[in-house]
Structure 1
Amino acid sequence: MSNQSVGLAPRALAMVIDGALMLAASTLLMWAVYGDPVSKWTDLRPGTLAINWLLPLIVCVVFWSWQGATPGKLVAGIKVVDARSGKHPSPLQAALRWAGYLVSAIPLFAGFLWARVDAEGRTWHDRLSRTAVERSREAPADGEGLLIGYIASHWRGEQSLAQSFWINHVLLTWPVAAGVQGLVAWLATKSEGLQGVAIALLIAWPLLIVIEVWSAVGTWRSVRGYVDAGGSYLISGLARLSLLGSFLQIAFSLALGVFSEFPELWKLARGIDPIGNVRLSVSADGRTMQFNGPIGAGDAHRLRTLLAASPAVRLLEVASPGGRVTEAERMVELIRQRGVGTRAIGNCESACTLVFLAGNKRQLMPGAQLGFHRASSGTFNPAFDEIANQELARTYRRMELPEDFIEKTLSTPSRRMWYPAAEDLVRHSLILPPPRTLDVALPEGDKPGQYAPLVDYVNALRASDAWFRLDQRFPGLIDDAAGRMRNAHMALAGSEHAVAGA
């Protein structure tokens, strides 16, 4: 074993980098598999065990036995070796070392700190696996530090092609790019903390471009050094072909990512939702709330405030092209807690359908439609689109939308809209069946002995397709008929009370 001792600082730096990479990978995988990026220690599902335990084991075993170092250790300038031969550890040693991490960590990380007092600077997991940690390169003479030195050596093309391509280009750059794209996907479908996320993206996009340029240029220079040293032209050609794809991706990201998304992100960073906000108002009698326009950031809070200030509201009339899904989900809880009905007076599309389906009684006015389609992640990455639509499917299942509706929704492109027939909505009990004749059920008051207000009679008639079409031909017919019906209803009830009293 070499007598080059390694302090705790390089080990800690390596662990932080490796931990961040594994956290990013496990978060994306958990989101893709289960729709939830966070798991608990008690979660023993096979997928969770594979992602959080088996995957890190495989990664460490492969990198320690192949390169002698994980990406974090390569950046920190250290490597794992067999304590006796000084060569890369065997897969068995690598597996024992990974298991030894747990042994070293359980007693308050005493096994890691043991390196400070060990004569050879080795930890418990080093001793258990008969491995040691050595420096893979010296710190730069000018004192710029291991991390800066690593960045500079890659940029100059001084590292091996395998390390530059697989470690720096693939394992260090791709997770960062995936993380930024995931943030964009989350931003497109969620709205919680939009302003903070937008600010983070405005910082992350330029940083991502810098990292991708650093990765691609350094690897390209490593290819040149590999060829000059007599390396395979086939391998160098494949590497350059991959790098050309990376350069195209950078251009693609700039054109369709940074430049196209910048105006929207800039508005969001200033607290302005570019899609707009829903318009909320309450009728003069206080019983009906109008809900019109796109669902934007903060609209759920505005709805909560207005509902609290309008205790008599019994009906929510909606007409919206949709918007932020998270805001709509919060509105669902508010509507269900309040127990109000919903009525679509115009097209209710995308996220608006969640609001509509939350009503305890749901009506579709003549001419109005419910529109469904796939969710869009806001990226050009099919994987993130699929994740967004898995979340959408789970949300619709919680809303008790039939499976055939969900399948049709997910098969409809995000730029198109599927409008199910009213008959299908009635068949699945998603809306109340509209009256087929001029006979309309008269509304009842909120309490026994009370009469419903005139507006309820008007709404009952408007829900009838026959009355609706008659009113279009003879304007004012519904208002006149509603007044007559209410007066007749009150007179009839009064005569019945008189007879009962006699």
Structure 2
Amino acid sequence: MVLIGGRWVVVQLWQSISLPVSPPLFAWLVLGDMVLALWQLVGAWRSLSRWVDSRARGEMLLAGRVAMVVTAVVSVTHALDQAARETAALAPVSFVGPRPLEVRNRVAYLTGDISYDLLARFEATPMKDVSMLDLDSAGGQVFAARAMAKRVMAWGLDTQVTKRCYSACTLIFMAGSRRDLGPEGELGFHGYLLQAQPLPIDVGQEEAIDRAFLRDQGVTASFATQAFATPHRDIWRPDRQVLIAAGVLRD
């Protein structure tokens, strides 16, 4: 009753406490629990030893000792579990969300493969102090690029490329209100390679959608056609004069 029953009562009392509590109070509770457990174990050991000595039943002493060892282990484990609960309650895990893009001097830097993860980072970036999007990507997912392009247009952002912007990245670039290419910058175009299972994708239809988008953004029909005429395994990198003449770059 004192050992097993007392431990059960202590466990129930612990469960009734709403964690977290103040660290000093928690420390006193754990210390009190350990002192009580030690008192229970010593008392039970002495009582069992006296009872066995008077009746000379060694197997009962062995069983009692095993029970006390188990109780001690359970008590320590329970104390550690309560400590873990207290720590978790004091410092709950929170979802911080996607990491925003780097922003410097009103320019947001969109770097890496075009993907829905990058789209989430783009959307998580506060745009109140951003006027231009700097692009550096070898391409990626066309549908994610379209979503980013819509946001660039909705937010009225300018776009620039100081390094490279290939394939799907060019859709985002073409969405800019103003479009600028740095001295070392390159734009690269080619046809699509779209794969999705189990739904089939009509590559020609998707290219036609984005060809029309380029026309809507002021690009000449011949350039829009050439942009998708290059096979996917290759890339077309038109020079600055061609880009200016075709209406790709816009002040």
Q: TM-score, normalised by structure 1?
A: 0.28
Task: Give 1:377 deviation, angstroms.
Answer: 2.5
The answer to whether the aligner puts 1:295 opposite 2:95 as a matched pair is no
Give, as a single letter, the amino acid of the residue that structure 1 aligns with 2:131: R
What is the root-mean-square deviation of aligned Cα atoms in Å? 2.7
Query: Secondary structure of 2:180's match?
Result: strand
CA pair 429-394 structure 1, distance change in 2 beyond 3 A: closer
Q: Tell me the equivalent position of 2:209.
A: 391
The answer to whether the aligner puts 1:339 opposite 2:160 as a matched pair is no
Q: Tell me the equivalent position of 1:417.
A: 235
Q: Tell me the equivalent position of 2:174.
A: 357
Q: Greater relative contact order (Cα 8 A, min sep 6): structure 1 or 2?
A: 2
Gaps of 5+ in 1: 1-276, 434-502
Q: Tell me the equivalent position of 1:97.
A: none
Task: Give 1:351 deviation, angstroms.
Answer: 1.0
The higher radius of gyration belongs to 2
Task: Give 1:278 deviation, angstroms.
Answer: 11
In 1, the alpha carbon distance for the partners of 2:99 and 2:175 equals: 17
In 1, the alpha carbon distance for the partners of 2:195 and 2:148 equals: 23
In 1, the alpha carbon distance for the partners of 2:100 and 2:171 equals: 17
Give, as a single letter, the amino acid of the residue that structure 1 aligns with 2:122: L
Task: Give 1:357 deviation, angstroms.
Answer: 1.2
In 2, the alpha carbon distance for the partners of 1:377 and 1:425 equals: 26
Query: Secondary structure of 2:205's match?
Result: helix
| Mapping 1:146-295, distance limit 5 Å | 280-283=101-104, 285=105, 287-295=106-114
In 1, the alpha carbon distance for the partners of 2:250 and 2:202 equals: 36
In 1, the alpha carbon distance for the partners of 2:245 and 2:211 equals: 21
Q: TM-score, normalised by structure 2?
A: 0.54
Gaps of 5+ in 2: 1-97
Contact 2:100 2:124 in 1 (8 A): no
1:402 to 207, 213, 220: 220
Give, as a single letter, the amino acid of the residue that structure 2 aligns with 1:342: T
State the identity %.
27
CA pair 411-319 structure 1, distance change in 2 beyond 3 A: same
The answer to whether the aligner puts 1:304 opposite 2:118 as a matched pair is no
Contact 1:278 1:292 in 2 (8 A): no
Give, as a single letter, the amino acid of the residue that structure 2 aligns with 1:387: Q
Task: Give 1:373 deviation, angstroms.
Answer: 0.4
Task: Give 1:279 deviation, angstroms.
Answer: 8.3
Contact 2:99 2:124 in 1 (8 A): no
User: Runs in 1 of length 4+ with deviation above 4 angstroms?
Assistant: none
Contact 1:279 1:293 in 2 (8 A): no
Contact 1:278 1:293 in 2 (8 A): no
Q: Which has the higher helix share?
A: 1
Give, as a single letter, the amino acid of the residue that structure 2 aligns with 1:292: T
| Mapping 1:65-214, distance limit 5 Å | none
Task: Give 1:376 deviation, angstroms.
Answer: 1.1
CA pair 367-333 structure 1, distance change in 2 beyond 3 A: same
Give, as a single letter, the amino acid of the residue that structure 2 aligns with 1:295: I
Contact 1:318 1:342 in 2 (8 A): yes
| Mapping 1:421-432, distance limit 5 Å | 421-432=239-250
